[in-house]
Structures are given as C-alpha cells and as structure tokens.
Structure 1
Amino acid sequence: MPTTTSSAPAWLHSIAVVGLGKIGLPLAVQYARHGYKVIGCDSNSQVVERLYAGESHIQEEPSLSSEVPQLVYAGLLSATTNIAKAIREVDVVVVIVPVGIDSEHQVDTTQIDAATSAIGANLQPGTLVIYETTLPVGTTARHLRTLLEQTSQLQAGTDFYLAYSPERVSSGTIFHDLRAYPKVVGGIDVESTTRTIAFYRSVLDAEIIPMASTDEAEFVKLIEATYRDVNIALANEYACYADAHNLDVYATIAAANTQPYAHIHTPGVGVGGHCIPVYPYFLFSNPYDHSQLSQAYTDQHTLALPRQARHINDAMAEYAIQRLEDVVGPLLQQSVLLLGVAYRGNVRETAFTSAKLLQTALTRRGAICYVDDALFSMDELCTLGYTALPPNAENKIVAIILQCHHSIYQQFDFTRFKQCKVVLDGRHALCRTTVEAAGMHYITVGDGHYKVKHEPFE
C-alpha cells in the first residue's frame, strides 16, 4: 500500500515521469508507492490507454500487474500524452527517454531533445528537472540545460533546478535494484544537488552518493558499462587462448576468481543489450566534450582498451561460427539453429542481440539460419528479421547454437534433431551430458578443443 515517507520535503507533492518504458513505468510506480501523485508522460497513446485501464504494458516486472491497478484506482498514478499539461502541474520532472547510437555509432539525442524542448516550453519556476537516461559526459550541463533555458526563458540554478542521476537497474529486477544499489546524483549547482538528494531520499531506501557535478554523475554510468565490456572482452581473449592451448577457460577463471582481487567475467558469443554495447560509444563520440585536450589527442591516446573491447566482443560471433566449422566443415547450404534471439536470458528484449551478429556470420558463409525463441511469436520473429524454425526443417539442422540462456532451454529436446552433429553452448549454460546423450558434440568457446585445421566431423 502507498505510504508517505517522513522525510518528504515540504516543496514536493507531485512528480512527472517522462517516458513510460521498461524503466520509466517502474520508476513511476516506485514514486507513487510513497504517496506522491505521479503523472506518467508518453507519446505512445496505447501505453497511456492501458495504464488508464489499470494495466501494465511491461511484463518483466511481475509486481507491476498488481501494483499498477492499485495505484491508478487510488488516484496516485495516471498517464497522459499531453506532456505540456503534466509539466505545468508538477514539482519534479524525471526524464527517462532513450538516447542511442546510429548506424555509424554516433550519439543520437533526437528523442530526448524533443522531450526536453516540450518540458522547457511548459516549465514552471521552482521545478526540479532530473535526467536518468544514460548520457555522454557534459550533455546535461551544456546541451540539455541550453535547450531548457531557450524554450522556457528561465535560468537553470536560479529559476529552476537541474540534476543528473543515472538509472542503475536491470530488466526483471528493477525494484530490487532500486533498493540495493546506491543512487548517484549530481546537480549543476549546490541547490540543485541538495534538492535532488532530498527527492530521492523521500522515494528510495537506497544510499545516496552525491557527485561534484552532473558531468561526474554521467561519467559514473559510462564507466560502469565500459568496465563490464572490457572485462568480458578480456574473458573472451582468455577463451580464445584456452582453445589454442588445449585449456579449459571456465575452470581456469573459476580458480582465478577465488583470489579476492580477480573478478573475471564469463566469455561467450557476444554482448547484447541496451547498455554494454552502446555506452562505450558515448565516450568515443561525445559531441559535448569540451575538454581542454584537443580532439586529435583524445582520439589518439585515450580509451584504447574500451575501443578494442568493442571490436573483440563483436568479433566473437565470427569466432563461434569458426568453431562450428571445425566440427561440421563448410556451412554452405547447411542449416543451423539459433536458440534465443533475446539479448539476455528470460528477458523479452532484443537490443543489440548477438543473434544478429551470428545470423550475419552464418549468412556470409551461405548457411541457412533458423531461430527458436519461446518469448516471441513466429510473426514477431519474422518482423525482427529472422526465420522461425518450421517443424519440417528439424531433420535438416546440422548444428545448434545456444545464443541466449532462457531457462526453458534447460529442458530442450535435442533428440528431435536427428542430423545435428554439434551444439555450441554460447553461454556455457547447457548440460554437456544431455547434449552428448543425444549423440551430438558439445562445444563452447574456451573449452580447449579448437581444431585449427578445420577438420570436418566424421
């Protein structure tokens, strides 16, 4: 049930959440839980209509199905496509609108720019605006501040308050993460930071970590994601080394990680998701980097490891297909099945999934690529650019790749595929004995059984 926190600041009564996606809606629910009137703003009328009917369009957070209707009927949670009216009625605006990269890996702020202009055009004096979207360093203090000031004719730090606080949650565990992970905040000035801390203390139970600026707060999220990408790339390099030297990388990593200063991640066939494959590029191609170093020096001398990590992780799909060819030989006109198109197990999301890189690598060799993913319908798979496996193609499959570790694949019936010679466990998640009992070779990157000469299976 909603509860009003004893630490509620006197100036805080209502909140707008701009962007009701997989993070925005849970944030709106989190705030409404604490007794505040929350207005969710979204350009998608279907999302708004479902929320008005007491329905959640986000399925990955189980508690939303019960909490959304309770909060809607209690009058604490509402939604609208009319952002102008909502912004004029609230004390705090939390913005969680996507920023991504284009096909050239350049930062694309189109959506957040549009949202910011709409917010600014209706901004009231005294309002606190907080961005939670992951942003390149300097975006809040320079680019977004300028947009807000130009459209509102108000001055940040004097007429309204502005801060940045990166979301640090994952799909499926958002409410847990909001409790468990400290909230990083940074304002454009002392008063903006102070008000942001007061706001989050009234809606979260987590520790609050103030930073010296919005730039530092933005940097926190970028180095979190980049650290993981670099660590995974290192693990993938270890896996390739292990294959070349007849070593088991998983046993080796497990032993190494018993030393308290080692935190080596798990190798695999690639890195997907909204964060890890994207946010390193916010460091490489930052349009708001006004540092004193020249751009030429920055390009030449900084961020060499993250740049190389992106290349290594994206290249693992090609390496995985080479591993398949070691067993079955050339894949021209051979049928291969990918298990899972989602970027992560048990999550219905496909952002930057490694399935696309694997599909491309297979197609380049003239292979026929089929997919299976119980979280998506056959029509959805087709829309995503895949060919769902038809029943009459089961006897054509010569190789299977586990791309995504959905729990359902623990009970997958490999015996259906009578002609399949090898299963490549791209996430080191399957039971080897189950695969081998079906008469197939079990391989994974880093198992130490890479045949350099690509000798065909006999």
Structure 2
Amino acid sequence: MSLFEKLVNKEEKIAVVGLGYVGMPIAVAFAKKVNVIGFDLNEKKINLYKSGIDPTNEVGNEEIKTSKVDFTSNEVRLKEAKFHIVAVPTPINADKTPDLSPVEGASSIIGRNLSKGSIVVYESTVFPGVTEDVCIPILEKESGLKCGEDFKVGYSPERINPGDKVHTLEKIIKIVSGIDSESLEEISRVYELVIEAGVHKASSIKVAEAAKVVENSQRDINIAFMNELAMVFDRMEINTKDVIDAMNTKWNALGFYPGLVGGHCIGVDPYYFVYEAERLGYHSQIILSGRKINDGMGEFVADAIIKKLILTNKIVKQAKVVILGLTFKENCPDIRNSKVIDIITRLKEYDINPSIVDPQANPIEAKYEYNIDLVELESIRNADCLVLAVGHSEFMNLDNSKIDKMFGDFENNQKVIIDVKSILDKEEIETGGFSYWSL
C-alpha cells in the first residue's frame, strides 16, 4: 500500500511545519481529508489556534474552531507523521542576502524525528539548489537515514496570496516536484486531495524552485516599471492612474499599477534569485534595477508629502501627518517587510512623527516590530496631511465629509491628501478643494 493510500485511510499522518500565512491554510485544507499534525515553535500562536483564533485571517476563526488539525509545539509529535510539509518563512538579511536559518532549523527538527518511508516536501521559497544541496544533507545528518533509499524529498512552492479571498489555496495550480519519478507521483496524488485546480509536475526540484522566485521577480520588475513611470509622470504633472486607465483599453496591457512593494514574497524573492546568479558569476541588471526602484518608493512618497506641506504653507516640523495603513498589502494583517516603514523613517528625518492607523494590523505586533502605537481612525483630528498608504476596505468608503473631519480648522486647499494607492475618487476630492497627490 502506498503512502498516499495510507494517508487517505488515516493509517498515516501529514505534518505541516510552520503555521503562518502559508502553512496554516494548508494544514486546515488537508485536515478535511486526512489526519494532520500542525507544528510550530511559537507556543503563543499554537494556543491561539487551539482557542479557535486565526491571527492571520487567512481562513477565519470559524474554520479554525471546526478544524481537525492537531496543533502542537512539541517536535516529538512529528514522529507520528510520514508526510512532512515545510512552510517556514525565508527572509533576507540586512545585506539583502538569503537567510536560510528558518528552513535549516525546520530541516533539523524534521530530521531528528524522521522515520523510514517518509516524504518531506518543502514549500518555503528558496533559490534553485537549496532543497538538494542544503536541506537534504541536514535531514540525512540528523536522521541517520539516506535520501532516495530511506526517505524521499520534494519541492512544491507556495502560491498563497495573503488576504485574497478569491484566489485561495484550492483554486491555484500547484507546482510539484520530487527527487525521483516515484516521489513525484506520490506527492502529486497527495496534493491533488486538496488542490481543485490541479497540479503541474515540474521536471526537477530545481525547476520548481526557480519557477517560484522567477514568477515573483517578474511581478517585481513590472511594478518597478510602473513606479518609474509614476515618478516621471509626477514631473510631467500627469496623473498616472489616468494614463494606466487609457493604456489598459488595449487587449494586451498587463494591468500593473505603481505602489509600495513589500511583504515576504515580491519584495524578497528577487534577492534569492540574484544571490545565486551572482554566486555563479552573473551580475543581475534588470532584476536588481527593479528592486532598487521599488525599494526607493517609500522615500519618494515621503518627499512628495514634504513638498505638498511646503506648497500649502505648512511648517514642516510642526505638521501633523496621519498615515492610513501599515501592513504590506490591503485587507491583510501581515506587517512583515512593510514599505510603509520607509515613509515613516524618511518623515522622521524631517522631525515628523506621524500617527499610524491600521484596523487590520495587530497593535501588539506593530509595537514589537516597529515600536509603533496604532491609533483608531475615529480618533483622528486636526491633521495637516492624510496619507492613504494601504487600500484596506475600511478606507475605501471615505468621502469628503469623513475626510474633512480628520483635518484641522483651515481652508481645504491647505488640507493635504496623499493617495498612494489611488483609492479615492480624484474628481470628488479635487472638487472639495483639497490639496491632492497620488502616485
């Protein structure tokens, strides 16, 4: 009997290692079909899941409450599983080089608890070669077992889009790969249990690894192009959104928009690809140029704020600036690698300490990560400048009357609105007489 059949018959278990924005939805999905152990080192997070609370908002509290996932922070429980899925983050260091410590740590933990006949599948984003050259040796060392003989390994890059309730896990084609044809077939069958869109069998683990970093690098480059256009259009005094709306009437327009590019995927993955390319003697030109542009957008927005304050006769050091949004994207509580921080950092160079509003972000995490005390939207008064940095649904219905209440008692043409995501009705705002700027 194959491992797949034993999983379906609930004679064996799946273990998901790392229960964040990626791992938790996978664990919940598989638990509807097979027995699942959900493992994470963070005991606080495990206790939240056990209490029926979803801090990621990816599947929601009700799903967590009814899920049959066996949540644990005890690594010994991994001995009960034969199919392991690794979904830990892969961040970058301060010098933009890959930080493989989480995936190395997860490999050590699994290796210590690995048994013969197991399959280990990595979903963490890495550059081509990491699974075979870094992870497998750790698994072998810790377990004393031989890959290919005693256990098998595969790679299936995560494609979850945090905060997206349309393109969910089940509806996104899953790339799968294995160390050999046997493991590829077994891994494919397991994922097909929960992936309604089906799987794509990559020819090798390295191809699957490369596909992940390249698809995000492609998006990064396209957004960088739009950001560069936005900076040029700003000098030309042309509204970027108006240009894009006109351009998008053509059938083959790509539909990208300018903006802040943060998070744990698009803002990170290109550096993984570039790192390995440079190790092999090739210096990236396009990818690094795109990263440089996108990494500089926070400062560009901050400088636009300062310019607008000066043009409206504000004393910059005394200006009250309010930023709406801290997370790295709309309708998502994830604040990791948020480029809104770059705006804040730049403003502080002008002695401006902005107030930050974000109904999606966790106040405790904001304080811990960035030493930021979030404030309520309803409490905002006497502002000189309002910066809409993230397009949360809570900000989408702000009309002139709601916006006006947040400002001080002075003429509308001295009330500065910075609309980074172009979520406001430009004509309505300008009709109201506000001093408006959008990226």
Does the 8 Å CA contact 1:26/1:175 hold for their aligned counterparts?
A: no
Of 286, 296, 304, the match for 1:323: 304
Does the 8 Å CA contact 2:161/2:168 hold for their aligned counterparts?
A: yes
Return the letter of the residue paired with 2:228.
E
1:37-116 aligned at under 5 Å gives the runs 37-53=35-51, 55-62=52-59, 64-72=60-68, 77-86=69-78, 88-116=79-107
Counterpart check, 1:271 vs 2:261 = yes
Kindly provide the CA deviation profile for residues 130-160 of structure 1, in whole angstroms up to 9, marking residues without a partner as x.
0111112111011001111111121111111
Give how far 1:26 is off: 1.2
Counterpart check, 1:312 vs 2:293 = yes
SS in structure 2 at match of 1:101? coil
Distance change (3 Å), C-alpha of 1:69 and 1:370: closer
TM-score (norm 2): 0.88
Of 368, 378, 387, the match for 1:401: 387
Return the letter of the residue paired with 1:435.
I
* Equivalence for 1:385: 371
Does the 8 Å CA contact 2:327/2:361 hold for their aligned counterparts?
A: no
* Equivalence for 2:282: 298
Does the 8 Å CA contact 1:354/1:403 hold for their aligned counterparts?
A: no
* Equivalence for 1:453: none
Give how far 1:176 is off: 4.3
Give how far 1:380 is off: 5.3
Counterpart check, 1:170 vs 2:156 = no
Return the letter of the residue paired with 2:390.
C
SS in structure 1 at match of 2:24? helix
Distance change (3 Å), C-alpha of 1:380 and 1:439: farther
SS in structure 2 at match of 1:39? strand
Give how far 1:277 is off: 0.8
Does the 8 Å CA contact 1:48/1:80 hold for their aligned counterparts?
A: yes
Of 182, 198, 201, the match for 2:189: 198
* Equivalence for 2:404: 415
Give how far 1:387 is off: 4.9
Return the letter of the residue paired with 2:425.
C
1:4-15 aligned at under 5 Å gives the runs 9-12=4-7, 13-15=12-14
Distance change (3 Å), C-alpha of 1:399 and 1:101: same
* Equivalence for 1:215: 206
The runs of 5 or more residues in structure 2 that have no matched partner are none
Return the letter of the residue paired with 1:272.
G
* Equivalence for 1:428: 422
Give how far 1:355 is off: 1.4
SS in structure 2 at match of 1:91? strand
Give how far 1:394 is off: 3.0
Tell me: higher relative CO, structure 1 or 2? Use CA pairs within 8 A at least 6 residues apart.
1
Distance 2:204 2:163 in 1: 30
Kindly provide the CA deviation profile for residues 159-182 of structure 1, in whole angstroms up to 9, marking residues without a partner as x.
111000001011233784223221
Distance change (3 Å), C-alpha of 1:360 and 1:231: same
Does the 8 Å CA contact 1:23/1:174 hold for their aligned counterparts?
A: no
SS in structure 1 at match of 2:168? helix
Return the letter of the residue paired with 2:74.
N
Kindly provide the CA deviation profile for residues 40-88 of structure 1, in whole angstroms up to 9, marking residues without a partner as x.
11112233334444x13335135x423333333xxxx2122222232x2
Distance 2:24 2:374 in 1: 31
Does the 8 Å CA contact 2:239/2:438 hold for their aligned counterparts?
A: no
Does the 8 Å CA contact 1:130/1:163 hold for their aligned counterparts?
A: yes
Q: Which shows bigger deviation, 8-17 or 203-212? A: 8-17
Does the 8 Å CA contact 1:157/1:192 hold for their aligned counterparts?
A: no
Distance change (3 Å), C-alpha of 1:176 and 1:148: same
Give how far 1:350 is off: 0.8
Give the count of matched residue pairs: 420
SS in structure 1 at match of 2:124? coil
Return the letter of the residue paired with 1:247.
I
Return the letter of the residue paired with 1:423.
I
* Equivalence for 2:135: 144
Return the letter of the residue paired with 2:149.
T
**Where has structure 1 moved over 6 Å in runs of 4 or more?**
390-393
The runs of 5 or more residues in structure 1 that have no matched partner are 1-6, 446-458
Counterpart check, 1:340 vs 2:325 = yes
Return the letter of the residue paired with 1:415.
D
Distance 1:179 1:41 in 2: 21
Distance 2:295 2:199 in 1: 35
Does the 8 Å CA contact 1:414/1:438 hold for their aligned counterparts?
A: no
TM-score (norm 1): 0.85
Give how far 1:258 is off: 2.9
Distance change (3 Å), C-alpha of 1:372 and 1:267: same
Q: Aligned-residue CA RMSD in angstroms? A: 2.5
Give the % identical residues: 30
SS in structure 2 at match of 1:40? strand
Does the 8 Å CA contact 2:333/2:362 hold for their aligned counterparts?
A: no
Does the 8 Å CA contact 2:326/2:390 hold for their aligned counterparts?
A: yes
Q: Which shows bigger deviation, 210-219 or 238-247? A: 238-247
* Equivalence for 2:118: 127
* Equivalence for 1:248: 239
Kindly provide the CA deviation profile for residues 184-242 of structure 1, in whole angstroms up to 9, marking residues without a partner as x.
01112222212111211223222211111111101111011111111111001111222
Return the letter of the residue paired with 2:63.
E
Distance change (3 Å), C-alpha of 1:376 and 1:207: closer
Give how far 1:406 is off: 1.1
